[in-house]
Amino acid sequence: MRIAWIGKKSPFCGNVTYSREVTNALLDRGHQVSFLHFAQEESETENCPNFQEVSLPFIYKSQVYTIPTLKATKVLTESLREIKPDVVHASLSLSPLDFMLPEICEQLNLPLIATFHTAFAGKGAKFLSGTQLLAYQLYAPCLANYDRVIVFSQIQRELLARMGVKDRKIAVIPNGVDAVKYSPGPSGVKAQFQAERLFVYQGRIAPEKNLEPLLRAWKQSQMGTRSKLLMVGDGVLKSSLEPFYGSDAGIIWLGFVANEGRRIEILRGADVFILPSLVEGLSLSLLEAMGCGIACLATDVGADGEVLEAGAGVVLNTKTVRSQLRTLLPLLQDHPELTTLLGNKARQRVLERYTLSKNISQLEELYREVLADRSVPLSPRG
């Protein structure tokens, strides 16, 4: 099958990881993939022989949204006309181009699928901020013009359906991780940081991640010198938080870790992973930690609570994160048998529901379903 993938390669965020993992897996299964992404000329392409890459010009891009140039629409249209894909799959990057894609693909008679990542607060769609609600309200009429829309949970599906997207157009395909790569294994991280017990946060250092309640709870719990909290990631709040929550309290700021092998080594060496977010979609960082078999704590936002339900982890309430963590942190520090049990359950949950292999199989079936609806013959693989 010939697939034109429209996604992000930078700056690093969950959308970037999603695009990388899914397109590489599709290539491994013998599909042809062209990757169209926002970049300055060829500066961010990887020159992979199995990958046709197309640079879409932009004015500005961040982890959250992208502003294309006026020329981007023409470049995209001409590229799709040349590639002649069976399917166009857009991993939506909160860009004006997202709203133009249905018209472009209709003109070219190409099936169009979207993955809609936008985070939300949780069950019942009780948004803590009008920003996420506005994004869903803005996107819903546009998403109705896509052949299919992929979301990560039933909660998201119900939310979009209430906003007018036909239920038959919405497919729930959860994020998945490579359970071979993200698996329990040896690690020298504890020795490196002289820690007997290791707790980890991995993600953006940003307001929506709700990190100060975690940091305050850690400091107030007086965890002792042999327990460490690693903060893995970068963002706008790092410079304002780090001076107040530092090494004197056992908190170590590692910044952004680009090397995936190093990130896996950190997770394998950890005892507990904590994600106190106010909003999420379905956190890949959470799934990666679960795959590595460590105990996981996350707030009941997006689909994260659904992932940890029925004992696969500890689900936190966004309104009481600090008080809950003040109780849980010493408990998890002093009872390694509890973190081992939770880690085993987390790993099992990933194997049952959230492997990349299952994700790709579902995606292939969705492609076939969309093409069958249009009675479009497939291009040969290779």
Q: How sure is the predictor about 128, in pLDDT bands with cuts at 50, 70 and 90? A: very low
pTM given for the model? 0.87
Structure confidence by residue, pLDDT tens digits, 232-263: 999 999 999 999 999 999 999 999 999 999 99
pLDDT for 56 equals 93
Q: Can you tell me which residue has the tokens 């909160």?
A: 94
Q: CA–CA distance from 249 to each of 2, 192, 218 (Å)?
A: 53, 17, 8
CA dihedral of residues 65, 5, 149, 18 (deg, nearest 10): -60
What pairs with residue 280 in β-bridges?
A: 120
pLDDT for 127 equals 44
pLDDT for 11 equals 80
Helix axes 321-334, 211-221, angle to 10 degrees: 50
For the cut 90, the answer to whether the pLDDT of residue 192 exceeds it is: yes
The Cα–Cα gap between 225 and 10 comes to: 37
Task: Work out whether the CA dihedral 267, 271, 276, 282 comes out positive or negative.
Answer: positive
pLDDT for 78 equals 97
For the cut 60, the answer to whether the pLDDT of residue 91 exceeds it is: yes
For the cut 50, the answer to whether the pLDDT of residue 45 exceeds it is: no
